[in-house]
Structure 1
Amino acid sequence: MSVGGPDAITLRAIAREMGMTPNAIYGYFATRDDLATELIRDVSTDLADVLDASWARTKRSSPAGRIRAWANAFRAWSLENREGFRLVFGDPIPGYKAPEGGPAPDAIRRICLGLTGLAALAWPYAAPGADTGTFRWSDFDPLLCDEVRTAFPELPPAALALALRIRSRLHGLVTLEVYGHLQGVTPAPEKLFDADVADLLNTLRLGPQDS
């Protein structure tokens, strides 16, 4: 996959890379979709572990500091695991059919709750300027709503919308960088990312807090 991306996921290709015969690898995975599901689950769990660790390390930091640390952890992981990023967030695997509930429901739940945690930190500052009447819980996936309302019972649906908007901001420049679209544009993509995070913090009315 590191050479051909998600399109290269075949049992024969994986077997060849591992020095195994295709028949041998079929003893572990009955189909290519089973293999792809396992890869997606492993990658997603690794990312969730990294983000959870960042959250735990910064529990004494300011809201702005915790959001900045989470953002930096996400970018660092993405650049160190470009093919994993593409597998989870980018190119769909041709013909792949995910299992019911998705390939990595636990990891995705943890990541979503982490993003909602960021929104919860920002909400006391962002709420006065937010249009809290725009969103209803019915605007979001029921299972996600149940998770969020259990973990953050004080948050309104507008805060979940804020979490998704934070995600879109963090993914933007990281996606361009992972796919190489900033090459030839800037030799310092980290400065662009830092500036974008600073702008996000200002949008959330947190200001330039660094700790």
Structure 2
Amino acid sequence: MSRRERLRAETTREIKAIALRLLAEGGPDAIALRAIAREMGMTAGAVYGYYATRDDLISTLIADVYTALVDRLEAARDAAPADDPGARIVAWGEAVRGWSVERPAEFRLVYGDPVPGYRPPPGGPAAEAELRACTGLVGLAAAVWPRRPGRPEDGQFGWGDFEPGLTAHVRSEFPGLPPAGLALALRMWGRMHGLVALEVYGHLRPQSADPAKLFRVEMCELVRELGLR
């Protein structure tokens, strides 16, 4: 990289770092290009040379944050034995919680209420990371499916129960997985995400002295219900 390219890359990283700090301190409304410019000792026009609008910056932050999350989830999953789907489910879930409680503001940016006034780009700001997360979670369900005891409710699901784009992706990536397998993946996600959201938004701590223990027991119970332990 040329000196000019290095300086631009460093400035871009600094802008994003300040934006994430403002997010953590004051929520999404605190992210303002002019505020970032003042803190960096730049003119507002100079910052607009890096991000033309606040929406562009927020889209970049969401993509970066979501990608960092998925990197962590995949690494945790792959650190567990490939022939132990139960351990991989627990590892994925624990990584979801670990990342979320360490970075509550970033969790809210990705999974919380829409940022006021923000207009995402067509296809969403983090389509690639979202697809990776979806594929990883459905992959966990697909690995469990051959070992899981059948349930009467499995027959209630058809491909028409799901968003067409999601259905097409799952049927392409996991051709042997029935619609109930996709439903299982979404239900697994709900059990992971539900407790985490309660904790991040401050609703769980008053009732539980040890949310980490509560979450781990829930993950272990999920694995047992799937007939793996």
Q: Same fold (TM over 0.5)?
A: yes
Partner of residue 86, structure 2: 64
Aligned residue among 49, 58, 63 for 1:36 = 58
Aligned residue among 120, 125, 132 for 1:110 = 132
Q: Which moved more, 1:132-141 or 1:159-168?
A: 132-141
C-alpha RMSD of matched pairs (Å): 1.7
1:175 aligns with 2:229: no
Q: Secondary structure at the match of 1:133?
A: helix
**What is the distance in 2 between the residues matched to 1:168 and 1:17?**
40
Distance 1:151 1:70, change over 3 A: same
What is the number of residues matched between the two proteins? Answer: 207
Structure 2 spans left out of the alignment, 5+ residues: 1-22
**What is the distance in 2 between the residues matched to 1:12 and 1:177?**
33
1:142 aligns with 2:164: yes
Report deviation, 1:130.
4.9
Aligned residue among 144, 168, 173 for 1:151 = 173
What per-residue deviation string (whole Å, max 9, x for no partner) do you get for residues 170-202 of structure 1?
011111111222233222111111111122122
Higher relative contact order (CA 8 A, sep 6+): 1
- Contact 2:60–2:125, Cα closer than 8 Å, also in 1: yes
| Greater helix fraction, Structure 1 or Structure 2 | 2
Instruction: Please show how residues 1-211 of structure 1 align to structure 2 within 5 Å.
Output: 1-126=23-148, 128-207=150-229
**What is the distance in 1 between the residues matched to 2:202 and 2:49?**
37
Deviation beyond 6 Å, 4+ runs, structure 1? none
- Contact 2:33–2:48, Cα closer than 8 Å, also in 1: yes
Task: Give the TM-score of the pair, scaled to structure 2.
Answer: 0.84
Larger radius of gyration: 2
Letter of the structure 1 residue corresponding to residue 210 of structure 2:
A
Structure 1 spans left out of the alignment, 5+ residues: none
- Contact 1:6–1:91, Cα closer than 8 Å, also in 2: no
- Contact 1:6–1:86, Cα closer than 8 Å, also in 2: no
- Contact 2:80–2:91, Cα closer than 8 Å, also in 1: yes
**What is the distance in 1 between the residues matched to 2:195 and 2:88?**
19
- Percent identity, please: 54
Task: Give the TM-score of the pair, scaled to structure 1.
Answer: 0.91
- Contact 1:71–1:197, Cα closer than 8 Å, also in 2: yes
